[in-house]
Chain A
Amino acid sequence: DADVTQTPRNRITKTGKRIMLECSQTKGHDRMYWYRQDPGLGLRLIYYSFDVKDINKGEISDGYSVSRQAQAKFSLSLESAIPNQTALYFCATASPAYNEQFFGPGTRLTVL
């Protein structure tokens, strides 16, 4: 079984809809991250969490919110989706020594 899972893997939605992307991990890591990937722009950090009570904004947090429901779960929400949020979204965890990130398979989101 995958250590970092993301659901759904693909989602098509319409402008203005609320969308939640979910991430679960079985690695027991405290640190979790949400990134978005756009062609030619690499990965950009949306939010990160160092533990259940610690949530921090990344470089592109506008239009997004997150929830850390448990150590193993970190959800990303788009309150009112817009077309320029069409992208590939990755969840990641960090090892206890903070010397490696482990990525989920990604969620491809299309906002029409």
Chain B
Amino acid sequence: AQSVTQPDIHITVSEGASLELRCNYSYGATPYLFWYVQSPGQGLQLLLKYFSGDTLVQGIKGFEAEFKRSQSSFNLRKPSVHWSDAAEYFCAVARTGGSYIPTFGRGTSLIVHP
């Protein structure tokens, strides 16, 4: 079975600073990988996804993520954080082929200081 670890429960950054949120997965082959964002009081919105091909994936709102097979990681990055990026971020993994049942990490809460 697949699993996801987000080692950071909270991350605090200053507005304008760069951001990296960590995600490690466990799966026997190359999985489908996702990052979702949850703003306060909202449902989850897809930021980006990786299925195959280029390991650097561009998403919405200026986010990108890099798939590193050797490290089983899919870290989310943004070069300059805006106050509106304050939210909960979830990494998710799904098996390739077969049933589409994503497994979510526990989430990282991003706090942005002015």
Residues of A61-107 whose CB lies within 8 A of B? 90, 92, 94, 98-101, 103-106
Shortest 10 CB-CB contacts between residues of A and residues of B: A103-B43, A98-B100, A42-B106, A43-B104, A103-B44, A42-B104, A105-B43, A42-B107, A100-B46, A94-B100
CB of B62, distance to nearest CB on chain A (Å): 19
Complex Cα spacing A45 to B101, Å: 9
Residues of A39-66 whose CB lies within 8 A of B? 40-45, 48, 50, 58
Would you give the 0/1 interface string for A1-37, flagging 1 where the beta carbon is closer than 8 Å to chain B? Answer: 0001000000000000000000000000001010100
Could you tell me the dominant secondary structure of chain B's interface residues? Answer: loop
Could you tell me the dominant secondary structure of chain A's interface residues? Answer: strand
Interface residues of A (CB under 8 A from B): 4, 31, 33, 35, 40-45, 48, 50, 58, 90, 92, 94, 98-101, 103-106
Would you give the 0/1 interface string for B74-114, flagging 1 where the beta carbon is closer than 8 Å to chain A? Answer: 00000000000000001000100001111111110000000
